[in-house]
Structure 1
Amino acid sequence: MVFIQIIQGTCTRQDELHALADRWQEELAPGADGWLGGTYGFTDDNQFVGVVRFESREKAMANSARPEQGAWAEQMMALMDGEVTFHDSDDVTLMMGGGSDDAGFVQVIQGKVDDPSRLKALMTSDPTRLHEMRPDILGATLAIEPDGTFTETVAFTDEASARKGEQTEPPEDVRAELDYAMSGARFYDLRHPWFSSAG
């Protein structure tokens, strides 16, 4: 079981936020029970996206309740340019192991569907077939909230390969499901992602 929290907001003080995230890894991660890892980055228009993974919601909330975590979060909020939004999900699907810390490019996709099972079926379809079609995809996570809002985090080898892969026309059945899932979705391109993981 995996719990995912997505943190988003505008941040023009990128170097400072990156350094603060590195400090969390060094100082707070050792005491964060159940923390599995995270994927982070900035879009070209200064949107920060952090996708943090825990073993369970309970362990994530217990971490949030730590005084040192509260103090760190205050510092993070002070670096943001405005409102920060959070998305929490217990309904997490991993594709091809969930991604890779070796990814050179990450795309975060957010949308909303009225039938999450269709989206999950697409994520859990034959990985061999997907890998043959899109060798540039290293893995992905899909976090769905109770109202059908989803955040998918896709790890690619590099952006050039991802853009080339986008030109590959998928089979008709896959195309229909992609069109359904991605209708109205928003894409966040993290061209210089960084990662952290436990252990």
Structure 2
Amino acid sequence: MFIQVIQGKVSDVDGLRRCMDRWTEELQPGAVGYLGTTWGLCDDGTCIALARFESADAARRNSERPEQSAWWAETERCFDGPVTFMDCSEVTQWMGGGSDQAGFVQIMEGHTRDAGRMRELETQASDRLHEVRPEILGGTLATYGSDGFVEAVYFSSEAEARAHEKMEIPDDLRSLFEEENQLMREVTYFDLHEPMLVSPRR
């Protein structure tokens, strides 16, 4: 799997929603290798989108379509200032990956000194995490550049996520979480209170 992360401050929310809806209706059928998108708006007006493809080649072919270029020229005008793109070629899904049933998605963006170990810890924690935090539906961990990472965690609802944050964590999970935290730095959190979850149309 390949994930492209798109991020920027939005100046025209309604316009952006129209553009995203039009992409789903008109452009998605021709996007070969497209697996889905998670996107939404944060409280500070930041839009962040995670577009999933089967491979980097599939994402590149989509970007090269003339209709995609025309769509992006229109969509870009909905942003205030530059829009950043991060291409993540190493993607790990844990607990089955994301879920279109999620009512809340939290995205973490930062740097890590050992992406491989982060993936191992996510895999090790998955089974026990589902027992302790049933409101977590799954997640993805994607890496870019030499040390960048973007992790998306899908929750059944924000209320349940906040309530379970206060729970005591069992010792076996705590040790894994503590090690993972030590691997991360300069982490920024993006809360999607109303996530838009798009899957390929069949």
Where on the TM-score scale, by shorter chain, does this alignment land: which range?
over 0.9
Alignment RMSD (CA, Å): 1.2
Partner Cα distance (1:122, 1:18) in 2: 36
CA contact (8 A) 2:125 2:176 kept: no
Q: Which residue of 1 aligns with 2:181?
A: 179
Counterpart CA distance in 2 for 1:140 and 1:74 is 31
Mapped to 1, the partners of 2:120 and 2:168 lie a distance apart of 19
The answer to whether the Cα contact below 8 Å between 1:118 and 1:177 also exists between their aligned partners in 2 is no
2:194 aligned with 1:192, yes or no? Answer: yes
Aligned counterpart, 1:122: 121
- CA-to-aligned-CA distance 1:18-56 (integer Å, 9 cap, x gap): 121011010000000000100010000000000000000
Does the alignment pair 1:132 with 2:134? no
Q: Which runs of 5+ in 2 are unaligned?
A: none
Residue correspondence of structure 1 range 71-150 to structure 2 within 5 A: 71-150=70-149
- C-alpha displacement of 1:169: 3.5
Look up the match of 1:161: 160
Aligned to 1:45: 44
Structure 1 residue 123 displacement after superposition: 1.5
Stretch deviating more after TM superposition (181-190 or 151-160): 181-190
Q: Give 1:92 deviation, angstroms.
A: 0.2
TM-score, scaled relative to structure 1: 0.95
Q: Which runs of 5+ in 1 are unaligned?
A: none
Instruction: Give the secondary-structure state (helix, strand or coil) at the position aligned to 1:184.
Output: strand
- Whether the 8 Å CA contact 1:36–1:53 is kept in 2: the answer is yes
Alignment of 1:51-66 (within 5 A): 51-66=50-65
1:22 and 2:21 equivalent? yes
Distance 1:182 1:14 in 2: 32
> Separation in 1 of the partners of 2:127 and 2:73?
44
Number of residue-to-residue matches in the alignment: 198
Distance 1:32 1:175 in 2: 37
TM-fit CA distance, 1:182: 4.2
> Which residue of structure 1 aligns with residue 30 of structure 2?
31
Question: What amino acid is aligned across from residue 28 of structure 2 in structure 1?
Answer: A
